[in-house]
Structure 1
């Protein structure tokens, strides 16, 4: 019992929680994060749930909570329907990312809508989309 208490005292504070993965926009600012819950929900920094991830042939489909297919998460890069990058994880970023601000509490997540069919994957492009990551993810709430 003393051994268990000693281990708990010396563990870093965040090591007992599930890790959340931050998504950065093309400007290096933290825009959203992927919660490590069962549905792998994507939350905006203000705590609003907008999308969730689902496995799809080795990659991850990004589905809006309204049931609309938004794009793909492939090797740490978020791609839109046209195959252009709209966001990245810190591990996949090829640029400096800004410090992550304090996250707001997660708001109640609405029930997800019925999913439509996922489109065919486009050829991944090397460029960035003109659309900001926040606007891309907000399509997961709008019908």
Structure 2
């Protein structure tokens, strides 16, 4: 493919075996590292741990450790559930009611700008810049 800004050719190849894309030429692969605690995400098991999890004896031996991890993660999960079920997300009527006057005033302003542009003989709407808001 070609870059949108400079028409430089970028060659990228798929690697289905490793489930990734390989940058052959024209670009560099961007590698971003992050701390799972800062991002408040959970660490997923790597491939070798996945194969261990299929073993029933391994699971039995590590059941206590898994329960401990579950208890540690429980407050975070409860907090996330509370945030997702917050009442403000379910009250669509009041949100729409508060947005309607803003949208009406915006539509009125656009109509006024179009009328002013027609009076000046312009084919496009003249735009007034206002500072501190829309």
Asked which structure has the greater RCO (Cα within 8 Å, sep 6+), the reply is: 1
TM-score, normalising length: structure 1? 0.20
TM-score, normalising length: structure 2? 0.21
Greater share of helix:
2
